[in-house]
Amino acid sequence: QSTWGDSCLSGSKCAAGYTGLLCKDCAAQHFADADGECRPCPKLSSAAFALYVIAVVVLSLMACILVVLTQAKSTSTTISSSRDTEVFPSFVTRSRSIPPSLSLVVTAFQIAGVLSAATLSWPRTAQRALSWLSFASLDVNLFASECTLATFGAKYVVAVLSPLVFVAFVVVELLLVRAAKLVVTSLADLNLGALH
């Protein structure tokens, strides 16, 4: 008898979409949804996985823009506070480059995504809504990755490397922004030198 709900039929046979020992695995062309049930792969599973890749790139661009904007703000705050320290030298404050509210929101989304997978008898609609918040953890299961990635090993590698790829994208984008700033300032210096 299977411990996985409706995945086993009588006579030691697996229900449609299930396979393996105790019928706990999804059969070919099936994936495990947020409820852990095996569903048929969508027709556009490759497009869904491409959407995941695009989402990682877009989120990294948004993170880069946020870091650049907060650094510009902290630079102006540092300049104004350096003027104040001439009068009040003991009141030097440290400014954060990333707003604490953003960190709290991302952490809350990650916790909600983890809670959706817990066996807490959530109503089905609440569990589905909470499971979509696991995008903050770059969860590959949201996009039916089992339909695109052939083996568990490939899915595992993508799941482990996704956060690293996200960070690498942000670092590369920040380096490109810094290089562009250097080029712009050097061109401005050259123009000023040519005017004199």
Task: Please report which helix (H) or strand (E) contains residue 32, including its range.
Answer: strand 30-32
CB 15 within 8 A of CB 7: yes
Using the predicted structure, report yes or no on whether residue 118 has a pLDDT greater than 60.
Answer: yes
30-39, 78-87, 121-130: least confident range: 78-87
For the chain, what is the radius of gyration of the CA atoms? 25
Name the pLDDT band for 1 (thresholds 50, 70, 90): very low
Q: 26 — phi, psi (to 5°)? A: -85, 140
Per-residue pLDDT tens for 68-113? 777 766 555 444 545 555 554 544 455 555 667 777 777 887 787 7
CB 17 within 8 A of CB 30: yes
41-50, 88-97, 179-188: least confident range: 88-97
Instruction: Say how many C-beta atoms besides its own lie within 10 A of residue 149's C-beta.
Output: 18
Q: Tokens for 22?
A: 């105790």
| Helix boundaries (H) for 88-151 | 100-117, 124-132, 145-148
Strand-pair category, 30-32 with 38-40: antiparallel
Global pTM value? 0.57
Name the pLDDT band for 3 (thresholds 50, 70, 90): very low
* Encoded amino acid at 97, one letter: S
Q: Is 31 left (phi over 0), alpha (psi -120 to 50) or beta?
A: beta
State how far the Cα of 67 lies from the Cα of 110, in Å rounded to an integer.
21
Per-residue pLDDT at 69 = 77
Per-residue pLDDT tens for 143-156? 777 788 877 788 88
End-to-end CA distance of the chain: 88
State how far the Cα of 167 lies from the Cα of 177, in Å rounded to an integer.
15
